[in-house]
Amino acid sequence: MLVLAATSIAILSVMALALARALKADTVYDRILGVNMFGTKTVLFIAAMGFLSGRPDFLDIAIVYALINFIGMVAVLRFFEYTATDDSPESSSTSEDQCR
């Protein structure tokens, strides 16, 4: 039980770090990386939390998280393709803005 709690807290702190990365990113890509890591760690956190509370039959939610995280990533990449063909000077300048 103690190990589960420790693992949950470790995952929770990793989530906090990934969130910090997503909140304060140098480039857009770093932000997406933070969001992606946050998503995968959340999946693990839900799984661990289910065992911690003694009802591990709610893993369906973790599966949904994994699915939606992936779809969200693909949507973001697709959005980049649009803005890259649409107005590439503007979109590249915005990423530069965040860079510096």
Find the binding residues for another protein in span 40-69 (CB under 8 A): 40-49, 51-53, 55-69
Residue placing its CB nearer to another protein in the complex, 84 or 100: 84
Residue 77 is a binding residue for another protein (CB under 8 A): yes
Total site size for another protein, rule CB under 8 A: 85
Residue 3 is a binding residue for another protein (CB under 8 A): yes
Question: Between residue 4 and residue 23, which ones bind another protein under the rule CB under 8 A?
Answer: 4-8, 10-19, 21-23
Residue 81 is a binding residue for another protein (CB under 8 A): yes
Closest distance of CB 1 from another protein, Å: 10
Closest distance of CB 96 from another protein, Å: 9
Residue 72 is a binding residue for another protein (CB under 8 A): yes
CB contact burial 38-76 (16+ within 10 A = b; e otherwise): bbbbbbbbbbbbbeeeeeeeeeeebeebbeebeeeeeee
